[in-house]
Structure 1
Amino acid sequence: MSSAETRMTGGRVPETRMPTGGAVPPAGAMPPPGAVPPPGSVPHGGATPHGAVPADEDTSLGQLIGDLTEDLSRLMRQELELAKAEIRQEAGKAGKAAGMLGAAGFAGYMTAVLLSLALAFGLATFMGLGWATLVVAVLWGIAGFALFSAGRSRLRKVNPKPERTIETLKEDVEWARHPTK
């Protein structure tokens, strides 16, 4: 406090009053439309939170272009993060489908070997061992093909393109070309 202020207030510290009319807005909250900010609340140079432009100062074209460039850069970074997330999600689906195909192949192999032996020896009581093993091999080949087909159809459902990101990028380009639409 300056000496002039001390003389005017008699050495007392002026009391700070809270605004009347209910709750106090949180720090950084935007004032209602048409409200005039109190003197000294806007830093010299016009910088305000969230890129808001004070009503009583003119903003240069260079500053507007700078703000636009910053916003577009932020938007592109966010779009890139979205694309990465979508690709990770699709890669997870592809990994699960590939795992199913691998497991189906191994299970089919083990099943074919063991059951082929058991069935071949069982059929050998009615026909020659060679014919019995051929019949068994054909049956398990059909089962393996069915598992392969199911895994392949699931793998084909995986979409490698980040569709939502592509759509929003197209919208962003359209907006950048015609921002008033």
Structure 2
Amino acid sequence: MDAPRSEPSTAELISRVGDQVSRLVRDELALAKAELRQKGKRLGAGAALGGAAGVLAWFGLGALLVAAGAALALVLPVWAAALIVGAVLLLAAGVLAAVGVGDVKKATPPVPEQAIASTRRDINAIKERAHR
């Protein structure tokens, strides 16, 4: 009498691999969605705080510019003081715009880094086992 086989058949193994790969892909997609959702929430909160800070800074800068113009008007005609303050503002705006354009060009799109790394590890593990 033959002893019952304890090892699964090739068809069973292929079926299991298909199920496991399918589950792995679903899990990796779920991880990517969760990671992007978390980053999106942080981005939204940071943008709101940055916007509020920008409004406050705008009013503060306005007050400082009025003070600078008033101080210059003590030693120069009012029109010259306003011209100097305006020229300095335009120069600063140009520098900030150049720096901002450079940063935008260097920016990369947001990617789910953990999910990509995990998927790469999974693929490498599958490749290693396939070679054995």
Q: Same fold (TM over 0.5)?
A: yes
1:83 to 14, 25, 32: 32
User: Which structure has the bigger radius of gyration?
Assistant: 1
What is the match of residue 126 of structure 2? Answer: 176
Q: Contact 1:117/1:133 (CA < 8 Å) preserved in 2?
A: no
Cα displacement (A) at 1:169: 1.5
What is the match of residue 126 of structure 1? Answer: 75
Cα displacement (A) at 1:69: 1.8
Q: Contact 1:94/1:158 (CA < 8 Å) preserved in 2?
A: no
Q: Contact 1:86/1:162 (CA < 8 Å) preserved in 2?
A: yes
Q: Describe how 1:99-118 pairs up with structure 2 within 5 A.
A: 99=48, 101-118=50-67
Deviation per CA, 1:1-29: give whole Å up to 9, x if none.
xxxxxxxxxxxxxxxxxxxxxxxxxxxxx
Identity of counterpart residues, as a percentage? 29
Range with bigger deviation, 118-127 or 55-64:
55-64
- Count residues with an aligned counterpart: 124
Structure 1 unaligned segments of length 5 or more: list them: 1-54
- Normalized per residue, the structure richer in helix is 2
Q: Which amino acid aligns with 1:68?
A: V
| Cα distance in 1 for residues equivalent to 2:22 and 2:107 | 33
Distance 1:104 1:135, change over 3 A: farther
Structure 2 unaligned segments of length 5 or more: list them: none
Normalising by the residue count of structure 2, what TM-score does the alignment of the two structures yield?
0.62
SS in 2 for 1:179: helix
Cα displacement (A) at 1:112: 3.0
Q: Describe how 1:1-181 pairs up with structure 2 within 5 A.
A: 57-99=6-48, 101-138=50-87, 142=92, 160-180=110-130
Cα displacement (A) at 1:82: 1.6
What is the match of residue 31 of structure 1? Answer: none
| Cα distance in 1 for residues equivalent to 2:49 and 2:73 | 34
| Cα distance in 1 for residues equivalent to 2:60 and 2:84 | 15
Q: What value does the CA root-mean-square deviation take over the aligned residues? A: 3.8
| Cα distance in 1 for residues equivalent to 2:44 and 2:17 | 40
Identify which of structures 1 and 2 has the higher relative contact order when contacts are C-alpha pairs closer than 8 Å and 6+ apart: 2
